Amino acid sequence: MKFSFVNKKDAKSEEIKEKLINKVKCSIDEQNPDVVVTIGGDGTVLDAVCKYVDQLETILFVTIHTGNLGFYTEFLPKDIDLIGDLLKNGNTVYHTYPLLELKINHNKYYGLNEVTLFHNRHLLETDVYINDEFLMQTRSNGVCISTPTGSTAYNKSLGGAVMDHEVEAFQLTLIAPFETINTRMISPIVLSKGNKITIKPLTENVEVSYDRNYLQRIDLKEIEITLSNKKVKFVKNRGHSLTSKLKDKFIG
């Protein structure tokens, strides 16, 4: 098996990487890995998925957290022996999470957490369509469309619902909506896979983010967002349910 590591550059993450290399005796292939090990936080996981977004079908991710518990990170540094055994025996069970697919001017981009459309200075006006049918005009700081796993990230801060990670759906929320008697908006909205959201900005020079990436001040007529067939596979730690993650991170 060929491995690649995407890790934070701090001493602790480097040390875990060395320990795991010794334990599994793996060969490193950064171009065509079978297993990608992330060491860091959820942000590190997003970077790794972005780096290998064209090879997700053949890659298994092992996600180790070095700080506080995360949502994508299944393992802690103390689990190195367990990870080594799982990988050696090929005895892995994994979570499969969908990405969002966004289409802009015939280009495709992918996000594991969310896509946002926003304007830094002006109130952003957009027309929102679902399956090419007009739904509403929005006035806000931005529009956020989140995956089930992204629902605990930006989406949650926007008053969106936390979603079961296994639900094949995506969710639209608004960033600081400016509602008046003339602009009525509904949000959050959860749609099942197969639906398409089209957002047409009426304001110029919008910016688009997808996870940690940005497209700045682009000439954009419309952006189409669907739940992609592209999926990521994260090796599962059996003792690590969504409920326990929610409790550990948000309830305490």
Residues marked as catalytic: 42
**Of 41 and 201, CB closest to ligand NAP:** 41
**Which residues are CB-neighbours of 127 under 8 A, at least 6 positions away?**
134, 136, 137, 138, 199, 200, 202
Interacting positions 76-105 with ligand NAP (CB under 6 A): none
For residue 39, CA distances in Å to 11, 69, 81, 163 come to 11, 12, 15, 25
What are 70's strand-pairing partners? none
Nearest distance from C-beta of residue 71 to ligand NAP, angstroms: 4
Give the nearest distance from C-beta 43 to Mn ion in angstroms. 3
Closest CA to 139 of 181, 104, 189, 174: 174
98 contact choice in Mn ion, ligand NAP, none (CB below 5 to 8 Å, kind-dependent): none
Collapsed DSSP state (helix, strand, coil) of residue 2: strand
Contact call for residue 84 and Mn ion (CB under 5 A)? no
Answer yes or no whether residue 67 interacts with Mn ion by CB under 5 A. no
Q: Does 153 bind ligand NAP (CB under 6 A)?
A: yes
Binding footprint of ligand NAP, residue count (CB under 6 A): 16
When asked if residue 228 is in the footprint of ligand NAP (CB under 6 A), the reply is: no
Q: How far apart are CA 142 and CA 179, in angstroms?
A: 13
160 or 201, CB closer to ligand NAP?
Answer: 160
Cβ atoms 74, 235 nearer than 8 A: yes
Query: Which residue in the set 149, 187, 228, 237 belongs to the binding site for ligand NAP (CB under 6 A)?
Result: 149
Binding segment toward ligand NAP, per CB under 6 A, in 11-19, 41-49, 185-193, 216-224: 41-49
* CB distance 169 to 189 below 8 Å: no
Q: Binding ligand NAP by CB under 6 A: which of 74, 79, 101, 211? A: 211
Residue 173 interacts with ligand NAP (CB under 6 A)?
Answer: no
Print the binding letters for residues 30-49 with Mn ion: x by CB under 5 A, - otherwise. -------------x------
Q: How far is the CB of 223 from ligand NAP (least distance, A)?
A: 17
CA 8/CA 102 separation, integer angstroms: 28
* Structural tokens at position 246: 């929610």
Contact in structure between 238 and 73 (CB atoms under 8 Å)? no
Which contiguous run of DSSP H or E holds residue 42?
helix 42-51
Using CB under 6 A, which of the segments 4-12, 92-100, 149-157, 190-198 binds ligand NAP? 149-157
Residues in contact with ligand NAP by the rule CB under 6 A: 41-43, 46, 70-71, 113-114, 149-150, 152-154, 157, 211-212
